[in-house]
Amino acid sequence: MRVGWGKKQEKVSTLMSYKNLIIEKHDPGIFVLKISRPKALNALNEEVLSELVRALKEIELDPSLRALILTGDGDKSFIAGADILEMSKKSSDEGIRFAMLGHQVGKMLRFLPVPVIAAVNGYALGGGTEMAIACDFIYASENAVFGQPEVGLGIIPGFGGTFRLAEFIGIPQAKELIFSGKKIKADEALRLGLVNQIFKQEDLLNETISMAKKIALNSLTAVKAGKKLLNELSDTIGVHHKVDIEVHEFGRLFGTPDQKEGMQAFVDKKKPLFLGLSIEK
């Protein structure tokens, strides 16, 4: 375990080493989980998602855990999205497995017994927005950008965006973002209710840690009970049923001409030409 010090001589521990993650522990029991894949703007591939599963299991087992902060390493990106180069090569079945892995991470964030705060420090597109909305609430930097641009790739959100986004901003607003694929800046996200507060880039993490510490001073038993009840109230249809529907529709779209065209165009840095052809199953 490597030990460092924060601005106020606060003891900060760096935990188990991961290739694409950095985990820090701040007193009292505040964990900061950073996605660190800077060359890809912290995009999610299977390796990153698998590491997130392992890391969240490690964190949950720590008896001192009182809150978790999810963020991205660096000042450009929270999570730029899923790794499109990797996705472009997937079959329908592989697409389903990829979506299920993403959902596993999302559900672990959602059902972690303690509060989880997303500190969005830059791009949070596609899977980035979906990981943020799997958290309990979101703080954002002034340069944060959100969006569900999957329709431009011939697919749909596959990590929870088709139902969790509506919990934050309502069904009509979620439909507009998902159907259009448009990106929104932090001020618009605040207006819609997607984020709770906006901070300067340099202040974001400290402000988020400060809120996590305020939470940590309260009754852990009561906070856990509050999170459990709020989650149950929002899962009126049943989260597992919603996940199953989204995962299989996401995978089905990996067999369409539009998906092949959209992702290859992205890789080739061209504008896609969608013909609207589909395969029905």
Residues with a catalytic annotation lie at 130, 150
- What order do you get walking across the sheet with 2-5 strand by strand? 2-5, 11-14, 21-26, 30-35, 67-72, 116-120, 137-141, 197-199
Helix (H, G, I), strand (E, B) or coil at 155: coil
Alpha carbon distance 71, 66 (integer Å): 17
Tokens of residue 61, six digits: 């087992």
10 Å CB burial of residue 176 (0-12, 13-18, 19+) is: middle
Secondary structure letter of residue 254 according to DSSP: G
CB–CB of 34/23 below 8 Å? yes
Question: In what helix (H) or strand (E) does residue 245 lie, and over which residues does it extend?
Answer: helix 239-252
Alpha carbon distance 178, 149 (integer Å): 7
